[in-house]
Amino acid sequence: MFVADQTWFVIAMVIYLIVMLLIGLYSFNQTDEYEDYMLGGRNLHPFVAALSAGASDMSGWLLMGLPGALYMLGFSEMWMAIGLLIGAAVNWIVTAPRLRSYTEVANNSITIPSFLENRFNDRSHFLRIAAGIIILVFFTFYVSSGMVAGGRYFESTFEGDYMTGMIIIAAVTVGYTFIGGFLAVSFTDTVQGCIMFVSLLLVPVMALLHMDDPGAIWTYQLENAYGLETIEPNPDWFSLFTGVSFVTIISNLAWGLGYFGQPHIIVRFMALRSPSDARAGMRYGVGWMFLCLVGTVMVAIIGPAFFGMDPSIAITDQENFETIFLDMGRILFHPLIAGLILTAVLAAIMSTISSQLLVVSSALIEDIYNGLINKNASDQSLKNLSRISVLVVAIFAGVIALNPESGILGLVEFAWAGFGASFGPVILASLYWRRLNGAGAAAGLVTGAIVAFIWGGLPQFGVMDKPFELYEMIPGVALNVIVMVTVTLLTKAPSKEITDTFDEAAKLSKVAIKKDIDFEEAAEVTAK
């Protein structure tokens, strides 16, 4: 790598980081009240909500992990992406409109734990405490995995120091989250989502135009060794089923189940202007995700022929081939443009960290401090405490991230399953099952979290491999549902006040979607 190239890369990164901080400052001026800091005043445009949810979800996996896996093994690695795409679409259709209605009807809930407490009128506060603890535990390590990824990105891209890179990336991310809260996170996520989208479509198109024989991308990996001839020809490269067990397919598809319980994603639904915005949000979000996945897949399809037919170029990472997207960008574009494309990975990392920091902050301040310790805290003090908690959580996560060998993908997989298995079934049942009571919700929530933690933790604790090599999401969700339904049916039915609120939320959601009107108009219609 030429020094001149590195200089251009640094210039591109500095431009990008300055833009993120400016967005944070703009959002600060738009954040007057505590609800603005946590939910943007519930006035989020569906386009912003959709790209924010997508960017906070996809992380570096989309730009590095998936193209590398596809490049090596072919379409058999597609099942996770298919599961995530289906899960995202269903989540927007099923969860978003009902949750938007319910969270406002249920005492203006602004976090998932507060929604669960208000949904069941839980005076014991057990649901709120349990949900807050689950968020704190899983997300603190989730945030640290993002910081590790940021340090490694800086290390590989600029040949710099891991610690320096981690501190710079963490500081900027914490900075705009600290200053601007939910709006800053949502706006920066939107910009970051656009960068990822443009980069993932631009790189494969330019790669095809660069090649002498573009048609070779469909046959090269079938007939030739590639990856510096370390990967054997694979006639089944384009097969979804060859060499993949049924358990593996089911486990990868099960990632889609996780969407229903990811606090940093579903909180965007709570911030929509109205339930009717969910329809537009689904089109934006799923469309964005689908096209990004198409770009990722095309990078992997083009890769064997692109690098194999030109001996003068090679993929930097010859072990996992996770730099294939970055290497294509470096080869195809002027260093400044390549630097901006490289920021797509940085954008994916930062968008995930910022969203998670805000959710952890909300668990600490809204759900534990304001919900249980000081219910009379002023708006200004809550905003200030939320900002402080963002900083504290970031420091704690940074301490964990001091070890560059921390397992990024393992932690992400673990946390995704933890949230999906604990929150997912409970959130869906809360929105659609009128009979569900607080005891059943609490039992299901705790059961799902414990099962996912133990099942997924067995290999991490050095006890044994995962039973049947099955992703912990599946047993976690299954046992959550069984326990939740059993406890609910064996205990007292919810009060009339709770069921009346359920009916009101359901009616508001249906009216708003059917008539395509905002929340206030829907409330007026249902009141007549």
Q: What is the pLDDT of residues 101-160, one digit of tens each?
A: 887 787 777 788 889 999 999 989 899 989 988 988 888 777 877 787 777 777 767 777
Alpha-carbon distance of 198 to 309, in angstroms, equals: 26
What pLDDT band is residue 317 in, cutting at 50, 70 and 90? Answer: confident
Question: Does the residue 32 lie in any domain?
Answer: yes
Question: Does the residue 526 lie in any domain?
Answer: no
Question: Does the residue 269 lie in any domain?
Answer: yes
Average pLDDT over residues 356-362: 82
What region, left, alpha or beta, does residue 122 occupy, with left being phi > 0 and alpha being psi -120 to 50 degrees? beta
Q: What is the pLDDT of residues 136-147, one digit of tens each?
A: 888 877 787 778
Q: What are phi and psi of 182, to 5 degrees?
A: -60, -40
Rounded alpha-carbon distances, angstroms, from residue 55 to 144, 172, 286, 385, 509: 18, 17, 12, 26, 26
The pLDDT value recorded for residue 500 is: 92
Please provide the average confidence, as pLDDT, over all residues in the chain. Answer: 85
| Structure tokens given for 82 | 């298919």
| Structure tokens given for 335 | 């260093």
Greater pLDDT, 432 or 55: 432
Q: Residue 527 pLDDT more than 60? A: no
CA nearest 367: which of 53, 33, 118? 118
Domain count along the chain: 1
Alpha-carbon distance of 250 to 247, in angstroms, equals: 5
Greater pLDDT, 325 or 105: 325
Greater pLDDT, 165 or 477: 477
Question: Does the residue 438 lie in any domain?
Answer: yes
Q: What is the CATH number of the domain that holds 388?
A: 1.20.1730.10
Q: Which of 131-140, 309-318, 514-523 has the lowest mean pLDDT?
A: 514-523
Beta bridge mates, 272? 44
The pLDDT value recorded for residue 525 is: 55
Question: Does the residue 527 lie in any domain?
Answer: no
In sequence order, which residues have a C-beta less than 8 Å from that of residue 300 and are 6 or more positions away? 66, 67, 68, 70, 71, 324
The pLDDT value recorded for residue 37 is: 62
DSSP state of 44: B
DSSP 54-88: HHHHHGGGTTTHHHHHHHHHGGGGGHHHHHHHHHH
The pLDDT value recorded for residue 1 is: 47
Q: What percent of the chain has pLDDT over 90?
A: 38
Q: What is the pLDDT of residues 213-254, one digit of tens each?
A: 999 999 999 999 999 889 999 999 999 998 899 999 999 999
Question: Does the residue 268 lie in any domain?
Answer: yes
Q: What percent of the chain has pLDDT over 70?
A: 91
The number of residues making up the chain comes to 528
Question: Does the residue 528 lie in any domain?
Answer: no
Question: Residue 14: CA atoms inside 13 Å, Cβ hemisphere, count?
Answer: 7
What pLDDT band is residue 22 in, cutting at 50, 70 and 90? Answer: confident
What pLDDT band is residue 451 in, cutting at 50, 70 and 90? Answer: very high
The pLDDT value recorded for residue 41 is: 58
Average pLDDT over residues 178-207: 85
CA nearest 119: which of 88, 98, 92? 98
Residues spanned by the domain of 398 = 3-520
The pLDDT value recorded for residue 515 is: 58
Question: Does the residue 148 lie in any domain?
Answer: yes
CB 480 within 8 A of CB 258: no
In sequence order, which residues have a C-beta less than 8 Å from that of residue 166 and are 6 or more positions away? 147, 148, 150, 151, 154, 398, 401
pTM of the model: 0.86
DSSP state of 38: H
The pLDDT value recorded for residue 92 is: 93
